[in-house]
Structure 1
């Protein structure tokens, strides 16, 4: 088996509940943060998945609740998805047929560059590098399927 685990049907793979740990490094200030929580991918009527993440984010010693919602819509093939923000705006494409995908998302003056890697049936990771006039961040998120 190679370094990456191919996913023939991305929406089927993601469906369900995942434990999430995310580290956030601010390369400019040297500050570190951490998010721990849960992501649930629940079926939508259009065949996509509703991604709902919730947990606790600790930044500079202060813990606060954090949540986000995304929509993972069917892409042009089963191994792909069209990822959108909760309000429907495009976020990025996703193609895990090889077990690895690179994506970009321009956000105002910042550029988000993401790498998605699938390790096996129950573990995957995202690494977002964020660069811009006010941001210089690395966000690393590990997902582990919940039993």
Structure 2
């Protein structure tokens, strides 16, 4: 099971994006930092995103990670719930009408680990695969 203490620090981030609906692929190389905040950890991802034929661009995302009753709880930076990381299963769902997001965490090769998001809906059909390493 992943813990806040195990996440804290700087990680190398490699992300592949396969947008099947738009028939585009993307690749992000950067870092993910989990830094302490008042209630847990703030995750800050930064990197250079190459997406389709567009010029490369700087990208950034932020999430809040908290110890929850049944595992870790992940929220968007504004505090709205995103998903939970349950110790009994490496999968979680997030519904953002009208689209569905399903994540699977692979932790067997810790401290290398990954997440695989499958995004589906009337306007989305994508797979987002992220690899993290120290």
TM-score by length of 2: 0.92
Give unmatched runs, 5+ long, in structure 2. none
- The residue that corresponds to 2:79 in the other structure is 88
Aligned ranges for residues 3-82 of structure 1 at < 5 Å? 7=1, 10-46=3-39, 48-61=40-53, 62-76=55-69, 80-82=71-73
25-34 or 60-69: bigger deviation: 25-34
CA distance in 2, matches of 1:16, 1:122: 12
Task: Please report the RMSD computed on the Cα atoms of aligned residues, expressed in angstroms.
Answer: 1.4
Q: Does 1:142 align with 2:134?
A: no
Q: 1:130: which partner in 2?
A: 119
Across the two proteins, how many residue pairs are aligned to each other? 133
Moved over 3 A (4+): none
* Structure 1: 5+ residue stretches without partners: 1-6
Bigger RCO (CA 8 Å, 6+ sep):
1
Q: How many angstroms apart in 1 are the aligned matches of 2:75 and 2:62?
A: 9
Deviation at 1:69, TM superposition (A): 0.5
CA–CA distance in structure 2, aligned partners of residues 65 and 93 of structure 1:
28
State the secondary structure of the residue aligned to 2:4: helix
